[in-house]
A and B are shown apart, each in its own frame.
Chain A
């Protein structure tokens, strides 16, 4: 597992904040991206993708756009969608730059017209491999397909940050959900760095099936931590006796900020792009490869 994030000036990667034509940008996602860049002394780049599908859609004679309130519906023309999208891109780009400036993070804005996954893959590949992708739009139940595509398409990345509809903070304990002992050092390091800028404290939650296996993992982790074990809060979570909903509830109860998990683990299926816990958390979920 890699949780490395390229430092500013390293010229090999950065924090990439994806923005879409819908114009939706979660406040928590934006703050998470800026905090991440701040924690790793990295550069923040917003990538606004003008979804090609929208332009295809606008070329249909029967294309209609219904307003968010549902009160008005109008014909959708290519020229109209182009103008609206460009205005949206400019507005979001400014918002990102302002947020970054407030925390002294170097930032820039970029606009491309492409399919979202492909555009992101290209952007990451340009400066691979140490990119962390933060999804600007709140993660919804119908976004799993898109996420799966991202996991598979975007290689040059060390992780994705996802914020769900309940997300409301980045502050609070940074919880690393550890399932394998060998992942501990990098996850703990990432947790410590994030905690240094969010004002929380790094914590480790161990996930394993059954008390025996959990006890063994706990022992291994403590051995690995050595003297640090006394200073870091460790909690063991038996997944045999619980489920993801209960885990999320516990994390909410502890008012966790960032939660770090691994792609391909029990919380994030790399193939299906299924991350049900993301929709339940009150903080950003950092999925590391």
Chain B
């Protein structure tokens, strides 16, 4: 039986209908082929008009000749909510009100943040400078000093100059005659040193004919005669009483020796104390004179004053030790004064306002600073002068902007950032040394008070991932600014969009764009948004197009960028990234992948899918086939069985079962088994946008009604038979169009899409042109039955009050097949029951 009916269109007859005014659909039923002519289709079966396929912009309505006539806009339109959030986040000073600014790349969020930061930062009172200085009581914990804005460098210079002066004046203080005389006096007055004690005892012992000899480890006493130790054998010869008397003298002198030697340290201690006092007195005058100027300059900063007092005290105490031993008068090496120098970690200029810092590589060290180490003779060493600031230091008092994804790349840095925000202080943590490295002094610099606002820039995925996984995140980033990637398409926004293009032209110094060019850009923007009712505000992509068009206009020696330059820039961009699509196209043209674009077959349909290739996506058809047989109620999704189908795809297939069961099997069991497969698909299939096509294939197989192969279908279905919207409708339509065009358009080919997707259509101009010329058609359907009628040429048929479908409708055929399956199943079961009993 052959079903045949003419396709009604609102436009002029298509080339196909010029030659043949009716569409003939071959319906295969077993070996028999019949021809049938169906009733005229309902309104749903009328293809969409060219005007519904692409919302074009009337260049004249824009009201300017070129963008040179326009005032450039800041790149932000339709983002009022996000901008209000940013304004709020930057104004509120309470703890935890840091910002997470989210939006797709190129949505202008960075630009908006920078603009707000500039304004806020310049209004604020200048932030303080910070320096690290030595902690004279505990060198491991360097002190942090807060210095009024713009004065840290002056402090560093002042101290450095003072030390330069001391390198000369300190030694001079110790070579003066006055100092030398007083020093000698102290030494003379306190000569009761070691050698003197021995000398005194030696003389006393000698007077008693006792020798004091130095041994390797100390002193020993022995009887002496004429200046020489008496030999023991000689000593034995003298009377015992004399020997006893000598031994007694030796013992007595030995005791005196011990006593004298024990006194030596005390005397030495007194001498050292007096010399130390003299040294401090000599040094004090030079040190006070050297530090006088810097002390006066910073008399208004108590913290600096306290430090200078500590430095002075330390210099007085240890200054003399800095002098080169044995060469008084020689200059002191500047390195000897290193511990008194100042390490400026943050210095703001005299300019007003708080800092606004963007850190593009927020590693732990780059964020919270680090303590560097120097290698010296194979060992590493460090001190407070090797403390290096991080972005938190530089931004302290102002704003720090970080890319969220980059910040999260280093877990240590992220944790350190949160810790700093929670504790409101910057604590530099020296990294532990590598195993096997020499022992290194670990510094614990005093934490610096932190008062800043962090602005994280990121996408929504990152934001929601952080919300879900990081308990601290919501407490620390309480303000979200959400940038939309598209805006509603209105006359006002079209105008604003044109002013953004004017700003792009100005920024990138390109030729102006004329109204036609802007119109094309608006259309392209709607295509990028995949929605004829919205505009993408991916400014980065638009700027790329304008710059590329500027190049092509230059090649053609035009002073103004026109529509054709914009179009060429878009086409060239597509072509450069088009290799994958070309290869995909080629396999259809060469018949490697089997897709029919003519004729009709039962249980076989053209589905549509999209392929992502970098920043470019394209659609391509895929043959879906269905086979049915008697079974126990199961649809086998072959993609799922071989683990190529994703969960959404599996869900779509399961919905088909719900539809069939709900619509047909109300009075009999669904004794059906079916298989569904994407033919020649060797990669993963995900999404439910092919579920409508799969249902059509299944019904076609059940009804044994052929499906038109010159049509492709996209859309998902629910259990009630509604056809639902899907993503990428433009690419999918264009994908099938390209295959058909390559094989030669017949005028019968087209695509069935969900009605809800009609508003998203922003098809390529060549597709629209082909539709206008009746070479191609786009049908929008809301119900499965509408699609069935277009695909088969048969009426779908609604069940009457008796539950029966009208004769010769598709649904009647399906119902009949399912009833037959149920009967067969019943009789099969009873036969098997008899056999087993």
Q: Which residues on A are within 8 Å of B, measured CB to CB?
A: 20-24, 51, 53-54, 56-60, 62-71, 73, 76, 81, 84-85, 87-88, 138, 140-142, 145, 165, 168-169, 171, 253, 255
Contact = CB atoms under 8 A, between A and B. Distances in A.
B219 A66 contact: yes
Contacts of A76: 215, 220
B220 A169 contact: no
Contacts of B265: 69
A81 B216 CA distance: 8
Interface in B551-593: none
B202 A70 contact: no
Contacts, number: 106
28 contacts: A21-B214, A24-B214, A51-B213, A53-B222, A56-B222, A57-B211, A57-B229, A60-B222, A63-B220, A66-B219, A66-B220, A66-B261, A68-B194, A70-B258, A70-B260, A70-B264, A81-B215, A84-B215, A85-B216, A87-B216, A138-B195, A141-B199, A142-B199, A142-B206, A145-B227, A168-B326, A171-B327, A253-B180
B257 A66 contact: yes
B195 A165 contact: yes
B632 to A, nearest CB: 101
Contacts of A62: 247, 250-251
Contacts of B195: 138, 140, 165
A85 B213 CA distance: 13
Given A65-B219, A88-B216, A70 B228 contact: no
B203 interface: yes
B232 interface: yes
Q: Which 8 A-B pairs have the closest CB atoms?
A: A70-B261, A22-B214, A84-B216, A57-B222, A53-B229, A88-B216, A70-B262, A59-B232
A69 B216 contact: no
Contacts of B230: 56
Given A60-B232, A68-B261, A81-B216, 8 more contacts: A20-B214, A56-B232, A57-B222, A67-B261, A73-B258, A141-B199, A142-B199, A168-B326
Contacts of A68: 194, 217-219, 261
Given A60-B222, A169-B327, A84 B262 contact: no
A140 B254 contact: no
B536 to A, nearest CB: 79
Which size bracket describes the interface of B in this complex?
35 or more
Interface of B: 177, 180, 194-195, 198-199, 202-203, 206, 211, 213-223, 227-232, 235, 247, 250-251, 254, 257-262, 264-265, 326-327, 329
Which of B195, B202, B223, B227: most chain A CB closer than 10 A?
Answer: B195
Contact of B220 (A23, A65, A85): A65
Contact of A60 (B177, B227, B235): B235
Contacts of B214: 20-24
A65 B215 contact: yes
Which of A23, A24, A70, A138: most chain B CB closer than 10 A?
Answer: A70
A255 to B, nearest CB: 8
A142 to B, nearest CB: 5
Nearest to B229: A53
A252 to B, nearest CB: 8
Contacts of B177: 253
Contacts of A71: 262
A253 B180 CA distance: 9
A133 B195 CA distance: 23
B254 A66 contact: yes
Which of B220, B223, B257: most chain A CB closer than 10 A?
Answer: B220
Contacts of A168: 326
Nearest to B258: A70
B744 to A, nearest CB: 98
A58 B232 CA distance: 9
Contacts of B216: 21-23, 81, 84-85, 87-88
A70 B199 contact: no
